Amino acid sequence: MDKWLWMSAGDLGRGIAAGDIDPVALTETYLSAIDAHPDRDRIYSTVTHDRARAEAKAAADRAKLGLRRSALDGVPISWKDLFDSAGVATEAGTALLKGRVPDTDARVLATSTNMGTVCLGKTHMSELAFSGIGLNPVTATPPNVNDPKGVPGGSSSGAAASVAFGLAAAGIGSDTGGSVRLPSGWNDLVGLKTTSGRLSLDGVVPLAVKFDTVGPLCRTVEDCALSLAAMEGTKPADLPGATLEGVRFASLMSLAHDDIRDAPRDGFNSARERLQRGGAIVDPIDAPEPAEANTLSGMLLTAEAYGTWKDEIEAQPDVMFSEILNRFRVGKTFTAADYVAGWQRLEVLRRQWAERTAPYDAVILPTSPILPPDAERMMSDHDYYVAENLLALRNTRIGNTLGLCALTLPTGVPSCGIMIMCPPGQEERLLRLGKAAEKALS
């Protein structure tokens, strides 16, 4: 049964539907693997044994009666520790929220549970989700599947590790500047950043609500589609028959390839060539909008984040990781006038980007221009931490600032992903392109 730990969520669901996999046995397999894993407490902040077993039993009963609620009914998944879960600590990786126990589930967790998914527990994350690195000396820093010395990527660091180490069939995280895609890319997973507003943030501990999004970290594109549907309570995107024939990709060159290191560059170039062999047309483009939009996000996101958390932060600044505290406090240096003007300019840039990329089906670029930095050095070298954190998130942040949906796929080079970006609200189109790309890349 250990093979179940490495199967896709979709395949597990099909096994349950066929009567070949018992949801109770499946859940016990995952719980046993979690409890026996040497990095259990670095990956999971809480393992919800009783809840998982009860949900698995209910899924098994439905399966016997032919009443399964979704393709993932009975499939065990993990949840980042910023999704409220009734009666279970939800502390968002920070001592500021130590002992916080909500009374109800976040809406996406409640909907997913109603669709039959089994909650294994809550996973560690960057403090208040304000880092793409995944380094958290306050609670725990999860491992990276490719580099024992490297950071895992954040802020959905534990979500990525739970899937990459075979301790969940899928992980649910959040993405404000790249926090689903970066840990997915660095742990060779598929990660979906949804459009802002697509999935409910009710019961999700915020960082910057205007940029916050919910998204899955998975083994396959299909799993991302199934997870999205489970959180929405809808049918998944139609993926069979997806093809790259005649697809036009714009390959963003400006900004996205600046200061890129050898492995990410080689991984992207190899992936691009395979997409072309699969039938896609790839045109390099330069565009000024991403660079200006990213510059604005340094103000807009940080100001909103500090405005959201300033009272809690300034009441107990000493309990925070100093690097995260410093990032938050940058937000108080901006004026209200700067903030309003910044948002007005960003809306103009979003319209210009939409017009520039309208002739293409999607835009592709490296998920990150760097590999996972060294965790120990990041704890002792402030300049290294700041520089690597900003560079790590630079490419993913384009999707957030321009209001897009985006998907990262493994390239075959460890910890190097390729990202596909589509206009807002086009997740179904994005997932079909991703499915076709996945086939070409494999």
What does each C-alpha distance from 244 to 247, 274, 352, 405, 431 come to in angstroms?
5, 11, 26, 19, 12
Strand 248-252's sheet: what is its strand order?
44-47, 118-123, 76-80, 171-174, 214-218, 190-193, 405-410, 417-422, 362-366, 248-252, 281-285
Task: Return the closest-CA partner of residue 303 out of 345, 335, 347.
Answer: 335
Q: Which two tokens stand for residue 168?
A: 């969940």
Q: Which listed residue (8, 80, 251, 297) is catalytic? A: 80
From residue 380, give the alpha-carbon distance in Å to each of 137, 185, 322, 383.
Answer: 12, 25, 11, 9
Query: 335: buried, middle or exposed (CB in 10 Å: 19+, 13-18, 0-12)?
Result: exposed
Residue listed under structure tokens 């459009």: 195
Q: What's phi and psi for 318, nearest 5 deg?
A: -70, -15
- Of the candidates 45, 78, 155, 174, the residue annotated as catalytic is 155
Torsion (CA) 116, 117, 120, 124 in degrees, nearest 10: -140
Instruction: Enumerate residues 6+ apart whose C-beta is below 8 A from 48.
Output: 85, 88, 119, 120, 121, 122
CA-CA distance, 306 to 196, in Å (whole number)? 20
Beta bridge partners of 80: 123
Q: Is 179 a catalytic residue?
A: yes
Quote the CA–CA distance of 31 and 48 in Å, as a whole number: 9
User: Closest Cα to residue 68, out of 232, 200, 216, 230?
Assistant: 230
Asked if 80 is an active-site residue, the reply is yes
Contact 183, 134 (CB under 8 A): yes
| Catalytic residue of the set 78, 179, 227, 251 | 179
Torsions phi, psi of 63, nearest 5? -60, -40
The reply to whether omega before 155 is within 30° of 0 (cis) is yes
- Is 227 an annotated catalytic residue? no
Alpha-carbon Rg for the chain in angstroms? 20
Please list the active-site residues: 80, 155, 179
